[in-house]
């Protein structure tokens, strides 16, 4: 039976990936030199595609890294001398916070209960804060932050740099990049690609900060720093041998998504999320873990299952549907359902029918 991965990441490959992969192999993409013209063309196409796809200002930089987790470290190293501020409401935002601590910075945080958003009105960010970090979509708890608030905070603290992790909300998310300084994602979630590539979108202001830190002899990174990535970006290359196949595939998938229309993809994402949340809100056995509708993620739906979690996962697997387990202490009682562009409306309708059937069969136990 064909399996469909509704896991948060890696997830189901985007439907066109297999064809693009075959073409890449046919054209020996994986053997070309990363110091030659054909490779530079791949990078140039990708950068151009990313800039049009996300409406990225022309003076912003695009850096190629290995993962979302690497992007967190690069962000802290290049943008913080002393103090960063983090909105922490789950495992990924905590990772970002801990990265800053581990790098010896003064990492401040505002914490919210797992499964909830923040009471932003009450948050005071100290003036000395150099970088404010958001995890737009907390993949562990299924909470998505409102973009308007992130943009409002950015306007309110014009001296601080703003970093946003969009690993599990891209390409659904739509930002005014001019208000943000570092935005990053990896490709194995919403873009439906194999893991191994991270993209960082970086403002000129963040580059300046990195240069300032370097001038003060503060360590901004050896393998990758904004300053070491810049000259390679300028010649459409990378310092190391990069995952060429991934770069090639990302450009192709972005182009496919543009053909469908990013607006259409966003609307369909909301339609599919509504289908599942509506079902959960009307079901006796299963419920949405995130109670407040305004906190609910459109791309990662966390379901409170309880003692039948193992049985539900097994039942879905028999139907060919692989869902994720809960995170941390919720591992055995919740499931997480990814709602990415690769997951069709039809797939989600079937999933809801299976969930319905499962709860009917366990009712009255
Ligand atoms: C998966 C994830 C990461 C980590 O990304 P990697 O590419 O696995 O390093 C970071 N942030 C969020 C929100 C994620 O969902």
Ligand 1: lining residues by beta carbon, under 6 Å: 9, 67-69, 92, 135, 137, 139, 165, 167-168, 186, 198
The residue whose CA is least distant from atom 14 of ligand 1 is: 167
How far is Cα of residue 146 from the mean position of the Cα atoms in its chain?
A: 15
Q: Give the DSSP H or E segment for 265.
A: helix 262-281
Best of 69, 137, 173 for a ligand 1 pocket test (most atoms within 8 Å of beta carbon): 69
Secondary structure (3-state) at 170: coil
For residue 188, count CB atoms less than 10 angstroms from its CB and return exposed for 0-12, middle for 13-18, buried for 19 or more: buried
Ligand 1 mutation target, pool 186, 193, 327, 340, most atoms within 8 A of CB: 186
pLDDT at residue 173 in the model: 93
CB-based burial, 27-37: b 16+ in 10 Å, e otherwise: eebeebebeee
Provide the edge-to-edge strand list for the sheet that holds 83-88: 61-65, 198-202, 182-186, 161-165, 131-135, 83-88, 106-111
Q: For residue 72, which atom of ligand 1 is closest to its CA?
A: 10
Tell me which residue has its CA closest to atom 12 in ligand 1.
167
CA 352-3-191 angle, 5° bins: 85
Ligand 1 atom closest to Cα of residue 70: 9
Q: Which residues contact 158 (CB under 8 A, 6 or more apart)?
A: none
Phi, psi for 191 (deg, rounded to 5): -90, -5
**Which residue's CA lies nearest to atom 5 of ligand 1?**
68
CA angle, corner 325, sides to 113 and 189, nearest 5?
Answer: 90
Q: Residue 365: what pLDDT?
A: 56
Tell me the pLDDT of the chain (365 aa) as tens digits. 899 999 999 999 999 999 999 999 999 999 999 999 999 999 999 999 999 999 999 999 999 999 999 999 999 999 999 999 999 999 999 999 999 999 999 999 999 999 999 999 889 999 999 999 999 999 999 999 999 999 999 999 999 999 999 999 999 998 899 999 999 999 999 999 999 999 999 999 999 999 999 999 999 999 999 999 999 999 999 999 999 999 999 999 999 999 999 999 999 999 999 999 999 999 999 999 999 999 999 999 999 999 999 999 999 999 999 999 999 999 999 999 999 999 999 999 999 999 999 999 987 65
Please give the number of the atom of ligand 1 that sits closest to the Cα of 138. 13
Q: How many CA atoms lie within 13 A of 133 on its CB side?
A: 32
pLDDT of residue 270: 98
CB 338 within 8 A of CB 299: yes
CB 99 within 8 A of CB 71: no
Residue nearest to atom 3 of ligand 1 (CA): 68
Q: Which of 7, 9, 96, 164 to mutate to test the pocket of ligand 1 (most atoms within 8 A of CB)?
A: 9
The whole-model pTM stands at 0.97
- E strand or H helix at 183: strand 182-186
């Amino acid at each position: 039976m064909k399996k469909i991965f509704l896991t948060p990441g890696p997830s189901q490959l985007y439907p066109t990936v297999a064809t693009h992969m075959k073409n890449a192999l046919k054209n020996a993409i994986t053997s070309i030199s990363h110091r030659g013209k054909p490779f530079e063309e791949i990078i140039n196409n990708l950068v151009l595609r990313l800039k049009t796809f996300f409406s990225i200002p022309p003076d912003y930089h695009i850096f190629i890294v290995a993962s979302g987790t690497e992007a967190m470290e690069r962000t802290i190293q290049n943008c913080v001398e002393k103090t960063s501020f983090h909105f922490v409401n789950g495992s990924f935002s905590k990772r970002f916070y801990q990265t800053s601590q581990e790098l010896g910075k003064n990492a401040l945080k505002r914490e919210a209960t797992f499964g909830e958003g923040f009471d932003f009105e009450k948050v005071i960010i100290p003036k000395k804060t150099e970088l404010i970090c958001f995890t737009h979509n907390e993949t562990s708890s299924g909470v998505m932050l409102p973009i308007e608030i992130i943009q409002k905070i950015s306007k309110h603290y014009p001296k601080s740099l703003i970093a946003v992790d969009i690993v599990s909300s891209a390409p659904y998310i739509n930002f005014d990049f001019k208000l943000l300084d570092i935005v990053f994602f990896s490709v194995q979630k919403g873009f439906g690609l194999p893991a191994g590539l991270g993209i960082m979108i970086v403002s000129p202001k963040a580059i300046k900060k990195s240069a300032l830190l370097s001038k003060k002899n503060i360590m901004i990174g050896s393998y990758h720093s904004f300053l070491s990535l810049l000259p390679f970006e300028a010649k459409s290359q990378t310092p190391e041998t990069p995952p060429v196949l991934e770069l090639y595939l990302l450009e192709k998938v972005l182009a496919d998504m543009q053909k469908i229309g990013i607006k259409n993809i966003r609307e369909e994402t909301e339609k599919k999320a509504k289908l599942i949340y509506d079902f959960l809100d009307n079901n006796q056995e299963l419920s949405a873990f995130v109670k407040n509708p305004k906190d609910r993620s459109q791309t990662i739906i966390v379901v409170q299952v309880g003692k039948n979690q193992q049985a539900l996962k097994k039942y879905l697997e028999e139907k060919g549907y692989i869902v994720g387990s809960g995170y941390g202490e919720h591992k055995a009682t919740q499931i997480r359902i990814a709602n990415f562009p690769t997951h069709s409306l039809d797939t989600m309708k079937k999933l809801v029918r299976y969930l319905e059937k499962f709860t009917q069969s366990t009712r009255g136990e």
